[in-house]
Amino acid sequence: MSMKVDKEAFYRRAKQLYAAWKEASGDWGKVDSIICAVGVDEDIVYSKSTALQSWLLGYELTDTITVFAEDSITFLASKKKIEFLRPLETNLDSSGTVPALKLLNRDKDDKDKKNFSKLLENIKGSKKGKTLGVFAKDKFPGPFMDLWRAALKEESFENVDLSSQFGYLMSPKEDSELSIIKKAAGLSSDIFSKYLKEQIMDIIDGDKKKSHSKLCKDIEDQIQNKDNKLLSGMDKNAIDMCYPPIIQSGGNYKLKFSVVSDKENIHFGAIVCSLGVRYKSYCSNIVRTMLVDPSQNVQDIYTYMISLEDLIISKLQDGVKLSDVYNAAMDNVKKEKPDIADKINKNFGFAMGIEFREAGLVIGPNCDVKAKKGMIFNINVGVTGISNKEAKDSKGKNIALFVGDTVEVKSGESGVILTPTKKKVKNIAIFLKDDDSEEEKENKDSNVDLDPTVFGRGKRSAVLDQKLRTDSTTEAKRKQHQRDLLEKMNAAALKRLQDGDNSKEKQKVRKAPVSYKTPGLLPKEGEVKELKIYVDKKYETIIMPIFGVPVPFHIATIKNISSSKEGDHTYLRINFFHPGANLFRDEPRYTNPEATFLKEVTYRSSNIKEPGELTAPSANLDTAFRLIKDIQKKYKAREAEEKEKADLVEQDTLIVSSGKSNPKLKDLYIRPNIVQKRLSGILEAHTNGFRYTSIRGDKVDIMYNNIKHALFQPCDGEMIILLHFHLKNPIMFGKKKQQDVQFYTEVGEITTDLGKHQHMHDRDDLAAEQAERELRHKLKQLFKGFCEKVESATKGALEFDSPFRELGFQGVPHRETVLLQPTSSCLVNLTSWPPFTCTLEDVELVHFERVQLSLKNFDMVFIFKDYNKKVAMVTSVPMTMLDHVKEWLNSCDIKYTEGIQSLNWTKIMKTIVDDPEGFFESGGWSFLDPESEGEGEDDDTDDEDDNFEMSEEEGSDYSDSEDDYSEDSNLSDEENYSEELDSDESSGKDWSDLEAEAAEDDKNRSEEDEGSSRRHKSSKHDRRDKHSSSSSSKSKHKSSHKSPEKKHKSSHDRDRDSKRKRERSGSSHHKSPKKSKR
C-alpha cells in the first residue's frame, strides 16, 4: 500500500488513551477492556469508531477490529491492512504505558472463529474481564460485524458507553491537527466569500431566480472541481464537505445543520448560508446571513449578535466551564436585548474535530465540562422569529439571523477565529436602489389616465418617453438632494464656526534667547578685553565692542551679515531683527516693543599691515564673518528641526510580539525613503502597531491608533502592489514629518529594453508573461492574506480599504496627470509620489471651476470643514467625466457647485474666517450655486410650458400677450427643450403634420395682424433657417443676461420668437441661464 502509518503519532496518542484509562475517573474506571469495531457502510459519515481510527492511525480501516486490553493492543484485519500496521509492532513508548501490539490476519475459511477466540481470551485476561468499553451508537452492518457481535453476545459481557470520554480525549488538537483545521477553515471562508457571496449578489443584481438546492449543488461542484483555484496548495483528494451546504430564505428557517435545502427560489430578504469543508478528516464550519434592504431594527439585532459572538469567544478559554460561557452570554442577552431572549438558539455551539459535532461538548446550560487549550469549537449565534414589518411581501415578514465561525481555544486569552470572513452589516447587507423605478412607474401609471387627444393623434413612441422621463427624474432628484445638502451644510458650518470660536487653543509663546544668564559667564578671553569682535561658539553669541563696552548678542538676534572691501579698509555690516522686520511672523518675539532696538552696526578695519605685525587688523573681521556665518547656519538648521517637531504628537511605544505567527510581508520598499538610497525591508504586525525594518537596520513604527486610513491597492492595471497608511498625526523619520507612509513591491519590469529583439511568439517572452501573471496572483494573495490577518488580530479596529478602479477619473493633484480613485472613505492616488489622499468626511463641499462647453477640462476644488486648512485642488479633469464625478459626489452626500471662473480661494477663506456670521447670513455657500437663486422663476416657467403643451389656443394667446415676457423665462423655456420635444415628437407628429399646423397658424395670425405681412414668413423658410435663427437667439440670450435691464425686444421680434418657439417646441440653446448670469 502507498499509505504509511505515523508511528510517533500513534504511540503518542495511544499513551494519552492508556493514561486516561489508568486514572480510572468516571466511566474509565468501570471498563476492563475497550473495543473498536469498524465495518463497511458508505452511508455512515461520522462515528466514534472511525474517528478513533483516524486519530490513532491517520486513516479509516474498514472491517477491522481493535481490542485495547490492559497488557496488549490487538488488531484483526485483512492481510493488506495488517501490512500497513506492521511498522507499529516496534514499541516506541519507553515509559511502558502503551502495551505490546498484536496483529491477526483474517481467516475467511473458518469465518474467523479462531481469531475471535483469541480476541475473547485477551478481553477476559484484561483486569476483571467482564466489562467492555464500547461506542453504543456504532452498529456497522455486514457479515463480519454480525459474526463478531454474535461471538460477544455468547459471552454475556457488560457494556459501558465511552463515546463522551473519547470525545473529550480527542478534542484538544496537536499542532499538526491545528494546521489541517486552519486549512479547512480557510477554504470554508474562501468558498463563502469568493464564490457563494458573489453568486448571491449576482442573483440579486440580475433579479434572477435560482433555487436553494441548485445553489447548494453548485457549491459542492466547486469542491469537486479539481481545477478550482481556491483549492490550490491542498490535497484535492482529501477535500470534502462536512454536510450538504444549507441555504435558507423566504420565511422558512431551521437553524440546524441537519436540515436539507428546499427547492424554493432565493428570496431577497434574509438569506442564511451554512457550509463546512472537511480536509483530511478534520472539520470546519462557517455561517453567514446575507441581508437585502434590511430595516434598522434588523440591523440592530444583527449587530448585537456579532457583539454577542465576540463575547462568547472572549469567554471561551482554557479551564472555563462551557456552562459558564453559556450563562455569561445569556446574562448579556437578558440585559442588552431581552426581547430576543426567548428567540435565541438553545446552545451557542459545540466542539468539532474529526467528527463534525461532539455531543458531549456543547456550549449549553447543562454542560459542566471545561474547555481545554487546542480545542476547536463551532461557535454559532442564531435568532428566529424576528418580525420585519417593513418587508415588501409576506415571505419577508418573518426572518431569522444566523452567524457562526470556527474558533480555536487559547490559554489565558480569548479564542481565535479561524474563519475570518467579514461579517459586519456593511459587509453582508445589500441595499437596492429602486426609488427611481418606482417613481417612473408612478409617472407611467398617472399618464395612462390622460386624454390621448391632448397629444394630437395619440402617443406612439412610449420607449422614448419613458427614457426621457427617467433621465429628467434622476437629474431632478439629484438637484433636489444637492439643495437639501446646501441647507444642512450652511447650518452645520455656522454652528461649527461659532462653537470653534470659544475653544481656540492658545499659541505657544517662544521665549527670547538669552546669551548669558549671569555676568560671570561672560568670556574672559583677550579679544573681549581688547575690544575685538569675539564669537562664542558654546553659547552661540557674538560679543561686539559698542562705545568701548563689550556687548553680547545672541545669534538669533542677527538677521544677516555682509563683508566688503573698499580701498584700504574692510567693512563688516551686521543687521539685527527689530519690530517690523520679523523672521517668525507667527511668533511674538518682542516682550517690550517700545524698547530701543539696534537696527544695524558697521565695523571698519584697515587692510594695511603695519611693520612688525603678522596680520593686517582686518583679519579679525574676516574671521568673525566666517564664524558668524557657520554658527548662523547651524542655528537655523536646529531651529527648523525643532519647529518641525514642535507640533508632533507623542506616539505610544510599540509592544513587540515575540510570536512567530505575526503577520509579515518581506522584500518591501518604503516611501518616502529612509535614506537617499532605496532599501528593502520587512513589515511586521505586532500587538499595537506595525514595525518596518530595513535591511540596514532602520526601524519605522506605525501605531494602529494613529492610522486614519489603511489602504490596500492590488496590482490590477499597475506595476506595483502596495499598502498605504494615511496617519492622523505625522511621525518623524528621515528628519522630516511624514503623514503618508507607503510600503510597496514591484510586480514587473517598469522599464522595457526597446533595443531587444522581440517577437510575439517568442517562447521566452511568453514564459516571462506567464511568470509575471503568476507573480501578480501570488503577491495579491500574500498582501490580501496579510490584511485579513491584521484585521483579525486587531478584531476589526483596523480595516483595510481598497480603491474602486472602475470609478476612477484622471486629474492633476500635484504635477502630473494621475488616476484618482475613490474608496469608501476618501479619494486617493497612491501610485505616484507624493500621494494624494482626501478624506471625504473632512470635505465641506466641492466646487468645479472652468466648467464651459468650449473647454475640454475643468478643475475641482475641495473645501474642508476646517476653514483654516488650505483648500485642495485637482486640475485638468476631463469634461467628459463631469457627470460621473457629480454622481459619485452626490452618492457620498457631498455638496458640489460649479462655475466658469477660477476663484481666489485664499481671500475667500480669509473673508469667511474673519466674519463667519456675516458670511452665512448673506446666504453662505449659496453664492457658488447657480441653482440656489431664481428657483421660483424656473417653476413658473415650467408651469407656462405645461400650459403651452396642453392647448394650442392658450399658446397663441400667451404669445400675443408677451410684452412683459422676460429674458430669463425665455431661457428657461429653451432649457426645457428636451421635455417639450418629448411631448411633440412622442405624440406621433411628423414633419408634414408640423408644417400643416404651422401654415394654419400663420393663416390665422395674418387675419389678426393686417398690415404686418413682413412678419409672416413661410414655415418652410423658418425650418430652413432653423440653425441660423437658433444661433442668433443664443447670442441674444448671452447679451441679454449681461445687461437685461438695457435690452428690450421690439414687438416684431417678440412675435417672431414666439412663433418659432411654437414650431420647434424650444430652442437648441442648452446653456444654463445661471452660468450666463455669473
Looking at per-residue pLDDT, the higher value among 447 and 928 belongs to 928
The residue with cell 473647454 is 855
Q: How confident is the model at residue 521 (pLDDT cuts 50, 70, 90)?
A: confident
Name which residue leads in pLDDT, 759 or 1001: 1001
pLDDT of residue 990: 65
Task: State yes or no: cis peptide before 552, omega within 30 of 0.
Answer: no
Task: Work out the pLDDT band at 369, boundaries 50, 70, 90.
Answer: very high
Residue 731: per-residue pLDDT: 87
**pLDDT band at 927, cuts 50/70/90?**
confident
Q: Which residue has the higher pLDDT, 569 or 503?
A: 569
3-state secondary structure of 879: helix
Residue 1010 has pLDDT above 50, yes or no: no
- Closest to 1024 in 3D by CA, of 995, 1049, 1048: 995
pLDDT of residue 952: 41
Structure confidence at residue 339 as a pLDDT band (50, 70, 90) = very high
First to last CA, the chain: 89
Among 509-523, 782-796, 851-865, the range with the most confident prediction by mean pLDDT is: 851-865
Encode pLDDT of 799-844 as tens digits: 898 999 888 999 999 989 999 999 988 999 999 989 999 999 999 8
Q: In which order are the strands placed within the sheet that holds 872-878?
A: 872-878, 857-864, 843-849, 895-898
pLDDT value of position 518: 78
Q: Per-residue pLDDT for 133 more than 90?
A: yes
Mean pLDDT over each residue of the chain, to the nearest integer: 79
Residue in 305, 402, 408, 420 with CA at minimum distance from that of residue 352? 408
Q: How far is CA 610 from CA 293, 531, 606, 615, 621, in A?
A: 99, 19, 10, 8, 17
Confidence tier at 491 by pLDDT (50, 70, 90): confident
Which of 175-179, 542-546, 876-880 has the least mean pLDDT?
542-546
Say yes or no to pLDDT of 1053 above 80: no
| 1036 — pLDDT class (breaks 50, 70, 90) | very low
- Identify whether 672 is preceded by a cis peptide bond (ω within 30 of 0): yes
On whether the CB atoms of residues 866 and 843 are closer than 8 A, the answer is no
Given a cut of 90, whether residue 244 has pLDDT beyond it is yes
The predicted structure's pLDDT at residue 451: 43
The model's pLDDT over 245-280, given as tens digits with 9 standing for 90+, comes to: 999 999 889 999 999 999 999 999 999 999 999 999
Is the pLDDT assigned to residue 506 strictly greater than 70?
Answer: no
* Mean pLDDT to the nearest integer, 982-1009: 64
Residue that the C-alpha cell 476589526 belongs to: 796
How many angstroms separate the CA atoms of 454 and 456, rounded? 6
| C-beta separation of 554 from 568 below 8 A | no
Main-chain dihedrals φ then ψ at residue 479, nearest 5 degrees: -65, -40
pLDDT value at position 796?
75
pLDDT at residue 583 greater than cutoff 60: no
| Highest mean predicted confidence (pLDDT) among 215-229, 470-484, 1040-1054 | 215-229
Cα 528 versus chain centre, distance:
68
Residue 232 has pLDDT above 60, yes or no: yes
Task: Give the pLDDT band (50/70/90) at residue 500.
Answer: low
Provide, rounded to the nearest whole percent, the portion of the chain with pLDDT above 90. Answer: 36
Q: Is the model's pLDDT at 876 over the cut of 90?
A: yes
Query: Across residues 843-869, what is the average pLDDT?
Result: 91
Name the residue with higher pLDDT: 1019 or 677: 677
Q: Higher model confidence: residue 909 or residue 3?
A: 909
Judge contact between 230 and 187, C-beta under 8 A: yes
Total residue count of the chain as it appears in this document:
1078
pLDDT at 974: 42
Residue that wins the pLDDT comparison between 195 and 447: 195
| pLDDT tens-place string over residues 594-649 | 778 888 899 888 888 877 777 788 888 888 888 888 988 888 887 777 776 666 67
Q: Give this prediction's pTM.
A: 0.56
pLDDT at 816: 92
- Helix (H) / strand (E) containing 821: strand 818-822
Residue 830 exposed, middle or buried by CB count within 10 Å (0-12, 13-18, 19+): buried
For residue 211, the 8-state DSSP code is B
Q: Give the pLDDT score at 189.
A: 92
Sign of CA dihedral 654, 658, 662, 667: positive
Give the position of cell 519507553: 94
**Higher-confidence position of 1060 and 626:** 626
Q: Which tops the pLDDT comparison, 155 or 248? A: 248
Which tens digits make up the pLDDT trace of 8-44?
999 999 999 999 998 888 889 899 999 999 998 877 8
Torsion angle of the four alpha carbons 1053, 1054, 1055, 1056, in this order, in degrees rounded to the nearest 10: 50
- pLDDT for the residue 758: 54
pLDDT at 300: 92
Lowest mean pLDDT among 61-65, 709-713, 1036-1040: 1036-1040
| Residue predicted with more confidence, 391 or 934 | 391
pLDDT above 70: residue 2: no
Residues 6+ apart with CB under 8 A from 606: 568, 569, 570, 616, 617, 618
Tell me what the mean pLDDT of segment 451-475 comes to. Answer: 44
